[in-house]
Amino acid sequence: MTKYILLFLLTIGTACNAQITNQTKQTKGNNMNNPVVTKDFEKFDSVLFDNRKDKNENVLRATQPDGSYLEMTVWDGGMGYSLTPRSSYYMLQKVYYKNNGNIKAKGLYFNNGFLQLGTWYEFDEQGRMVREVNYDKDYHLKLEDVLRFCEQEGIRVDKGPILQSTGYHTKIRRAGNTQGKTWTIEWLKQPEKVEKVILDDATGKVINRTETNYTNN
């Protein structure tokens, strides 16, 4: 989870280009067990973090009573918080300013990271919200559409927290350029074979399939 916090710090401030939302295909967020994201000001919970069991590590990892997985971390440049509900494809991510613990940014990731979703909120050091970025509005397809495709194709996509050293987990990404927008799915088709499927965002159709060898180290 920590790597996703660091990834966000590299991508903060980057927005996507505008495109149409297909309302007929969009699944309501509460059906996907989304963590709730608000634009409210908040501070890093230093009391919770300071009560972690292992004081020698700058990371708190804990499974909540409802099965959600929580991770909090502190590093030289800031502080982070991530929460993944047990039966969700979404991870709530928050980053805080190191000097005062005020919220810096918050929003949702796909639970296997590298895919920012929905509306993200960014704040200045005094806690004033300075920016909203809707990462979904630029894409015709939604994550729910891609998950539906995966189900139809027999592609396994795990819910809940994706932890290190727990095997191969399906990756989903999206990208766009002057040639158009695409979604990329990488999944373990066979024990030693990963298939990459590329979907056209405008039509939802498969435009490319490739397979590569995979070795589980």
| CA–CA dist 59, 80 (Å, integer) | 9
Q: Is 70 exposed, middle or buried (0-12, 13-18, 19+ CB in 10 A)?
A: middle
Provide the residue count of the chain: 217
| CA–CA dist 124, 97 (Å, integer) | 9
Read off the tokens for 73.
Answer: 């971390």
Confirm whether pTM is higher than 0.75.
yes
State mean pLDDT over 170-198. 95
Between 23 and 198, where is the model more confident? 198
Q: Is 145 in a helix, a strand, or coil?
A: helix
pLDDT digits (tens, 9 = 90+) for 6-51: 455 444 444 333 332 333 333 344 445 789 999 999 999 999 999 9
Strand partners, 208: 198
Cβ-Cβ contacts under 8 Å for 88 (sequence gap 6 or more):
32, 33, 34, 35, 111, 159, 160
Nearest Cα residue to 48 out of 78, 14, 13, 79: 79
